[in-house]
Chains A and B, each alone.
Chain A
Amino acid sequence: MKKNKILFTIVLAVFAILVGCNKDFLEIKPKGSLDEGVLATEKGVNTLLIGAYSLLDGVSSQFGWEAASSNWVYGDIRGMVGNKGTDAGDQPDINPLQSYSETSTNPYLNVKWRSVYEAVSRCNSVITVAAKALAAGTITKEQHDSFVKQARALRGWYHFEAWRMWAKIPYVDEKTDLSKVANTEDVKAKIIADLQEGTSLPNNMGQVGRFNGTVANVLLAKAKMQMNKDWAGALANLNAAKTGTKPNGTPIGLAPTYGEVFDIVNRNGIESVYTVQYSVNDGSGAWNGGWGEVLNFPYKGGGGSPGGCCGFFQATQEYVNSFRTTADGLPMLDNSYNNFPVKSDVGLTPSQPFTPDAGNLDPRLDWSVGRRGIPYWDWGKHTGSDWIRDQSYAGPYSPKKQVYQKKQEGQYTEVGNWTSGWTANGYRMIRYADILLLAAECQIETNDLAGALANINAVRNRAANPDGFVMDGAAPAAKYVIAPYKPFTDQNQARLAVRMERKLELGMEGHRWFDLNRWGITQTELNRVLAYEKTVPWGNSMYGSATVGPEDATYPIPQRQIDLSNGKLVQNR
């Protein structure tokens, strides 16, 4: 029995020791992450700020092309300069967006919403942690202010992006109680205030990817124009921007020729006021390289055309027609260009002969659109339907502006992902011509028609520079006829001119539908374009019975977000 007792005592002792060890054994810190405290330093806040910049493209491995800030879906397809392209069944969620029949459950809208507000949340993290760092003395007041101004300018921009999609949006800052976010208050003043904060940033921020005073001025002007029709206020900001610099202090201005603007090597060239920076082969597995536009390349199997995927984002015939110029080199502001449609190869196979349109055209067409018979960057001539996924569904045109060149493959495109369409061709978020045309708009509305004419014609004269024509050997690839406007007769004619000029200059760059909304002509203009586009051979199956109603000047607020808000978010229509 004594042996038993000894044994039992030993066992009990072991148990007692074990129970005593509990506490430390159960303390395990998560692996692979940091907490807020570690980040409250200059380096930490800056790194958070870079995180906030990194959603300027809208996309990450969490958010796909649905959220691309280049807005090829929301700006251009919705604005009918482009269509979905590709075939009927790929990305079918775009179909209702382009036929103005989307519901609030459309998944594209939810991804865009989540991307924008994740970006806002990143800005708020910068502001919160910067305050901590300042309190802890790990950064100076000057450093703090620079971080916070950048973060607020970014926050203002992200909110503005949401505003121009949905109008009735919640505003979230670092003090917002996240459980009480509603979209019933007017947020315009807060957006303006955030952007205003950025305008006091210096022009030279040292790095081209940051926001500086110039960038903030342009964004503020855009917000003032779009939200408040504050033309005079916006003009002041635009004028300030015109004399500014890029964020790295280098000069801005019009590039000598039009086409060079879209060349990857010029992504941070003189024309670029702010380009969303894309990088490839940077170890991210391509996610920083044009993920938002990765679908938008010609579709030709087996190589011989860029990207190899996926044939999205084709131009509409109506958009192509609008490049038609009169004998004196001017666009047809009465939209009569549709009576002289640009000839296409629709319905033909590559082996059937085709001669491209011989009429007068604005040279910018062939930098904006790929069409049969016209040289396409350095890829040779576009050969027609073999570059197109389904001509009978989406017509004969290919996108071009963001497409890379053959000689750039591998250097400016990601190697080793499923397509080479991950490029370093950053989205030209603000380019100098945009500033000039916005300024012209403000000038027209404030009745400075001469000033407006000068700005518009600066853009137009650049387009007319024959050094920038698409060449077929030694000769221009088409009959390019373009000339500056004569002085405007009245405000209305000037309006028509600037609006047409934006379409021609900035088409396929994500602006069109937002521009139409700013001008208040969304319904009439798009119904007009729709009526024409339904008459082209592929138009009926693509648009069917689509019509544009007054509600189509916004997108519905994603139903999922309304559901998740517990009734605090309300639908905007």
Chain B
Amino acid sequence: MQITTIVRRTALIFLSMVFSMGIVFAQQRTITGKVTAEGEGPVPGVTVVVQGTTVGTITDMSGTYSIRVQGPSSVLVFSFVGYQTREITVGTQSTIDVVLIPDVVAVSEVVVTGYSSQRKRDITGAVGVVETTALKAIPSGNVVSQLQGRTSGITVIGSGQPGQTSRLRIRGFSSFENNDPLYIVDGIPSSTISMINPNDVESISVLKDAGAASIYGSRASNGVIVITTKKGATGVKVTYDMYTGTQLAGGGPTKDLLNTKEYANLQWLVYRNDGTNETHPIYGPSSNASPTLPGWAADTDWYKTITRNASMSNHDVTLSGGNENAKFFAGVGAFIQNGIIKTTDTKKYTARFNSEFKVLEGRLTIGENVSMTYGSSHGVTNLAEGSPIQMGPYRSQPIVPAIITKPIKGTGHDFVPGEYGGTGIIARLGNNTNALANLERAKDNNNYNLSVMGSAFADVKIMDGLNVRSSLGGRFFNGAYYSFNNSTYENAENNATPSMTEGANYGGHWTWSNTVSYNKTFGDHKVSAVGGYESNKINIYRELGGTRAGYFSDAVDYRTLSNGQTITAAFSSASTPVTLVSQFAKADYSFRDKYLFSATIRRDGSSVFSEDKRYGIFPSFSAGWRIKDESFLKDLSWLSDLKLRGSWGTLGNQLAVNPANAFSLFGGSPDQSFYDISGTGSSSAQGFRKNRIGNPDAQWETNVTTDLGFEATLFNSKIGIVFDWYSKQTKDLLFNPELPGTAGSASQPYVNIASMSNKGLDIELTYKNTFGDLGFNASAVLTTVNNEITKVADGVNFFDWGGSRIGSYNRNQVGHPMSAFFGYQVAGLFKDAAEVASAAKQDGAEPGFFRYADINNDKVIDPKDRTFIGNPNPDFTYGLNLALTYKNFDISTFIYGSQGNDIFNNNKWWVDFWPSFQGQKSQDLLYRSWTPSNTGASVPKASNKSNFSTNTVSSSYYLEDGSFVRMKNLQIGYTMPASSLSKVYLKSVRVYVQAVNLFTITKYSGLDPEIGGGDRAFGVDAGNYPNVKQFIIGLNLTL
């Protein structure tokens, strides 16, 4: 963006000089003055013309001008790129000083794209632009989660865990292995932006189609997100932004689950249903009319026990300044968030220094940007067995005290007050661990990550319009961690020996890129081109670590690796780096600003492929037609602008491929191939196995993307529409088909065999108007993706993914979208024995259990009757942003929604079936399940039978509509009047209050419908860290 501004400034200066030569020396007087810009100081190069004449001049280096005018009615017009044009009637004044106000619209219309920036009106590809002010509306330390719903074509899903990185997908999926977009941060490609401070971001562009993204060639098939960070500007500016607030844990799922008395009653219901007689170790003989509770019985609300209301706060200080030849920006930030699950938190401290210098009479620009990030988190597993939400509320019986208050003689441990309670108190309490104990014990674990990312560049202006630029940059990171695994006493299944794991890692990547750019206008013809050469080394990583067991003491200060008695593991792992060498070129041509053409080509060479298959070529073509400028539309006054555009091109992906893919390799590890050949009992001899089968023929995954769209503005630009239809066809999709078992179990190679299709619409609408003091601004984005797998492998048309206690739920199959849910269709519950007898033969069938649909009508329910029972992919997602300003007040809200996606509620497996472990159960199971007197129920009979007809297979019973609408943000701000600030030397002060996630409308019965997961198996709720309500106050200050 900076470059373009410079180019355009140069052009304007040049134009102005031409103007000034034509000045007719008429009479009257001379007006002088100084032009400054708000917050910036004097502005050189501003065009000053007398309206209706050809008389004009430009301001000099100190912003002053001098111009002759005819009389008092003359009007001076001050114009400068990026600022609102001002018109001032001369009157009797002889000195006119002007303050220019930045034109926000104009600034945002320059868009940073691959290796260049362009006026938005000239772009022929599909590029989404995110306003950085919109980003900041969501209080988060992570830019990715802030992007949710902000531009069409992207889908972002994330949990409420502090420091988590949300899953961001651009236009669906184009790979089975890796669908992460490529991030470009100040020109440096990166696979993550978690280390970026959101406050440092100046602009974000999302390159969605081949027309926009193919200049990034082999790494662009998942889309590209281009981020630039803030730079200094003329003048001095100091800002301080902060917010602080609280996150409310809420009541969780407790209301749907049982209390202690109810749980015992449920056991009695099971006895009745199953006809079991026994003496229950806790509740007494089943022959009693009702259970009795022991004296130690608690009534624990496990959700409340493991959660808290948690604070979060953020502080950012930035300093920027400079003059024509030197600019700098410095910022420091601190983001600290405690999680609503106890002991979870994240801390992120960032520092950035960006600077830029012009030397050699402005022909050489050199600059750098560097950021340092220190992060440290206490996290928990999520969407998996063992996550606190699953282990606590969904698995812990309420009878178990979280903390012992009176002595209990347990089966193997005598509990005393103050100790943790647990499933070890007596039989039948289940095998879960005490979720609170897990969290509290983990609080002394620690980790940090330190990341340094930056680049330096030199840009030489060889002649007007021709620049050469070289930049070298990258990222280095280093981290260390240790965690202690306590011995436990309170559980049914205890960990006898404490152990400790400690490790450290480092890694990074670098990029050297060199470009030549050329911009020139010849009459009606405008040409801009960029070409370059780039080399990358990525995936540099090494880790070392070890585990020792047998610690004399659990004392926190005693925890070093050396203090452990037995070495259980000592390892180092080194990743194989990947190198890339690329050449690329892009040319844009426009004729009369009306007919726009663009062509891009990139050739990439990658070390992950063998020599014959190493290079890939990725071209794209796009065109635009500003049809509004045609004579036949000139007269349509309501139509402010209309541009049609289309693009076609190919993009590549190599992220799926292990760098060792081409090689057949042998190796060994103690856990897989070592053997105690000498019978020592305590040592094993090294053994090897074939651990990788190579495929030297693997090639790039290729995406062929077509995009058709239009951009229109209506009614004096009050309404804006951006519409895109796209089709993204991935061919040669890299897949590592599972080999038959007879081929051995070495890692299977990736082969270019699968294919996938994504089609959809991206729609953005904006409306902007002012009514007196009232300003109104609304925008809506809509994203649809229709994803379909079109081929998996020869002879194989599906693969299952994801695991659970009863196998995988997600099947990726030809003709279906990624990650679709697969299992038996529940047709209802067997009402009675007669229905069982008349139904298709089904293992375990009995009244009150599931009756599955006989899909193939062969009178037997078997695996052939499994079918697709749901789809976690939404029909569409949308974001709606509304903002009102009235005098000094502003109010804004952001609503995000997802429609038409299903959730596989795996928590039901734990709580709706008695034999799914002896953990917590649901109100549904006790009060709304099938009984001989309630045969119309939808919840199966409470029974201790675990079989095909109850809880051992995936079925549609677990599926729920996961659609939701959520108010992500409601913010009310007040900006102090400038008059009151000048006395305290402040430029601007704004205070605001904010509510986040104020309400959610959904039919989903679980904690939170925002369920992520890996691309091949997502949408399964296995205990999700919820997104919760947050209340925030904040301050924005400019000095």
Contact = CB atoms under 8 A, between A and B. Distances in A.
Interface of A: 4, 7-8, 11, 14-15, 18-19, 22, 25-36, 38-39, 44, 47-54, 56, 60-63, 87-90, 92-93, 95-96, 99, 101, 103-105, 107, 110, 113-118, 120-122, 125, 170, 172, 176, 178, 181, 207-210, 248, 264, 267-268, 275, 277-288, 299-305, 308-310, 346-349, 352, 385-386, 388-393, 409-410, 412, 414-420, 424, 537, 541, 544-545, 558-561, 563-567, 569
Interface string B208-230: 00000000000000000000000
A506 B405 CA distance: 49
B535 interface: yes
Interface stretch (B243-251, B273-281, B759-767): B273-281
B612 to A, nearest CB: 12
A282 B944 contact: no
A433 to B, nearest CB: 20
Contact of A267 (B431, B565, B681, B805): B681
Contacts of A305: 412
B952 to A, nearest CB: 4
A388 B745 contact: no
Interface string B868-904: 0000000000000000000000000000000000000
B672 interface: yes
Contacts of B669: 61, 284
A280 B672 contact: no
Nearest 6 pairs of A and B residues by beta carbon: A416-B549, A302-B412, A301-B424, A121-B744, A284-B670, A88-B915
B413 interface: yes
Contacts of B281: 349, 385-386
Contact of A26 (B278, B491, B606, B944): B606
Given A30-B576, A88-B945, A207-B677, A48 B666 contact: yes
B744 A118 contact: yes
A520 to B, nearest CB: 26
B775 interface: no
A449 B412 CA distance: 52
Contacts of B916: 89
B671 A281 contact: no
Contacts of A561: 740-742
B418 interface: no
A310 B917 CA distance: 12
Contacts of A39: 666, 688
B498 interface: yes
Interface stretch (B49-57, B138-146, B657-665, B956-964): B657-665
B88 interface: no
A22 B580 CA distance: 9
Interface of B: 274, 276-279, 281, 410-413, 422-429, 431, 460, 462-463, 468, 485, 489-499, 514, 516, 533, 535, 547-550, 564-570, 573-579, 581, 583, 605-607, 614, 659-660, 663-692, 737-746, 794-796, 805-807, 843-844, 862-863, 913-918, 943-948, 951-952
Contact of A279 (B460, B498, B684): B684
Contact of B863 (A50, A104, A181): A104
Contact of B489 (A54, A268, A303): A303
Interface centre among B276, B425, B742 (most CB of A within 10 A): B742
Nearest to B364: A7
A38 B666 CA distance: 9
Contact of B680 (A96, A99, A279, A300): A279
A390 B918 contact: yes
A32 B740 contact: no
21 contacts: A7-B460, A7-B468, A26-B606, A35-B665, A48-B666, A53-B675, A54-B684, A89-B916, A96-B843, A96-B948, A282-B670, A285-B569, A288-B670, A300-B411, A352-B279, A386-B426, A389-B427, A416-B549, A537-B276, A561-B741, A567-B795
Contacts of A310: 431, 493
B741 A35 contact: no
Given A50-B674, A51-B668, A308-B493, A416 B687 contact: no
Contacts of B427: 299, 301, 385-386, 388-390
A420 B487 CA distance: 12
A50 B673 contact: yes
B412 A537 contact: no
Given A35-B666, A99-B947, A564-B740, 7 more contacts: A34-B666, A101-B948, A208-B677, A248-B679, A299-B427, A303-B496, A349-B279
Given A96-B843, A287-B671, A564-B739, A30 B663 contact: yes
A33 B691 contact: yes
B174 to A, nearest CB: 24
A278 B674 contact: no
B75 to A, nearest CB: 42
SS of B interface (majority): loop
A88 B844 CA distance: 13
B579 A26 contact: yes
Nearest to B672: A60
B568 A120 contact: no
Contacts of A302: 410-413, 424, 489-492, 494
A545 B945 CA distance: 12
B495 to A, nearest CB: 6
A283 to B, nearest CB: 6
Contacts of B745: 62-63, 114-115, 117-118, 121
Nearest to B917: A89
Contacts of A569: 740
A541 B918 contact: no
Contact of B687 (A53, A391, A424): A53
B863 A559 contact: yes
A541 B945 CA distance: 6
B575 to A, nearest CB: 7
B742 A181 contact: yes
Contacts of B743: 117, 121, 178, 181
Contacts of B951: 89, 92
Contacts of B673: 50-51, 54, 60, 122
Given A48-B687, A418-B495, A178 B675 contact: no
Contacts of A90: 431, 917
A15 B583 CA distance: 10
Nearest to B497: A415
Interface centre among B498, B682, B688, B690 (most CB of A within 10 A): B688
B664 A36 contact: yes
Contacts of A115: 745
B573 A54 contact: no
Nearest to A181: B742
A32 B947 contact: no
A279 B682 contact: yes
Contacts of B573: 32
B279 A284 contact: no
Contact of A209 (B463, B489, B676, B843): B676
A25 B579 contact: yes
Nearest to B428: A390
A164 to B, nearest CB: 17
A397 to B, nearest CB: 15
A29 B662 CA distance: 10
A75 B489 CA distance: 35
Contact of B577 (A28, A96, A300, A352): A28
Contact of A178 (B579, B664, B742): B742
A117 B605 contact: no
B682 to A, nearest CB: 6
A392 B278 contact: yes
B568 A118 contact: no
Nearest to A61: B671
A57 B95 CA distance: 95
Contacts of B685: 50
A208 B659 CA distance: 40
Given A349-B281, A416-B485, A301 B742 contact: no
A19 B665 contact: no
Contact of A89 (B468, B607, B805): B805
Given A4-B462, A7-B468, A30 B535 contact: no
